[in-house]
Chain A
């Protein structure tokens, strides 16, 4: 458990009181219920979607920081550095 895919919020709308949005997953779009992230999400944000619901807003700053750390680590390894764990 469980299939949660990151997608970009493209549009917001209100479906008779239920916050909904259009989320773009790499070119594929679906209507997603944003009720659980409504307070923190605006178009352009990324959310993690499970069974048509956004369960979390994706923290892009954290994502990019860890990716950079990991890439740096693998570059160091390639150079033969046995660096201490960060």
Chain B
């Protein structure tokens, strides 16, 4: 067989595993199984043009102008971890999705599923985090809901936040707008949130100083907009599935290839160490306080400078370029000069012994 094997995306396997009749954990990983869940179950039922663009949010046309709406549900365990809690994630996460669409967040809703037996002390702390984060961001939590389920059905607490923001005419980053030649920037160090959560799980026994990077990114996005405006073609916050998954999604949506430089990736030593011990790749580890940006080359310098001038972006770095070749694929060049494809994983990364 000569030449590279064809990509398997979109091909159906004639011999599927029989267990395909149930939801698996991997369907929530942000990798290929998540994409399959959308493609095979959700989009066929809900499908409409806004949803099918698969952006961080949807743009709604109203007589009062354009709004962006985004929703996200948070199920993290443990509820409280070094650097934050599920409440902070819930507020920051939705604010960030709105910001990735170029919108200014204005309002949030919050829906809770509480597990019977959850201590009020814990709930009050989480609510306090959410209130503080919303205030700091200048958004109001205007509606919500609460349900309680029996012990054992909710891992303590699940929360959904939906956010609404207003869109400017002159700033509309979109996953499909990346172009060959765009510079790829990352706003900060990668891998902190996922490894903080891993370390907080007692069963792996890791003792680290790693803290979640959860942060509200709208002010950082505003700094980027002020410096580079419409030269910012695409933005994404690389949450579950990590930087690798976010770049794959943008590469596919835009039809560009991405060339990454391994030596340019900002990975803090404790994250690298924890990943080494467990056999994980930092490129696939979740982040909650950084963004990746595709910026037109002539604006890249000032975009990077604007990020670095902001407290949330002091470690911002140029990590690669969008290219014409290998559209839809992310390829990484190693320090030694070799290359490898950085693809979506099927499901979650699992700690390995090999």
Contacts and interface: CB of A to CB of B under 8 A. Distances in A.
Interface of A: 1-3, 5, 7, 22, 25-31, 49-52
A17 B270 CA distance: 31
A27 B208 CA distance: 7
The main secondary structure of chain A at its interface with chain B is: strand
Given A3-B279, A5-B276, A5-B277, A29 B354 contact: no
Nearest to A32: B205
B353 A29 contact: no
A49 B277 CA distance: 9
Contacts, number: 47
B270 A3 contact: no
B272 interface: yes
A28 B273 contact: yes
Nearest to B268: A27
12 contacts: A1-B353, A2-B354, A3-B353, A25-B276, A26-B269, A26-B273, A27-B270, A28-B199, A28-B207, A28-B273, A29-B208, A31-B205
A50 B279 CA distance: 11
A61 to B, nearest CB: 23
Interface in B204-219: 205-210
A3 to B, nearest CB: 5
Interface residues of B, number: 18
Contact of A28 (B270, B279, B352, B354): B270
B296 interface: no
A29 B207 CA distance: 5
A30 B207 contact: yes
Interface in B165-206: 199, 205-206
Contact of B208 (A1, A5, A28, A31): A28
A26 B274 CA distance: 8
Given A26-B270, A27-B270, A28-B270, 5 more contacts: A3-B352, A5-B276, A26-B273, A27-B273, A28-B208
Nearest to B272: A26
A1 B269 CA distance: 24
A52 B204 CA distance: 10
B305 to A, nearest CB: 30
Contacts of A30: 205-207, 277
Nearest to B275: A28
A81 B270 CA distance: 39
A5 B276 CA distance: 7
Contact of B277 (A1, A2, A28, A31): A28
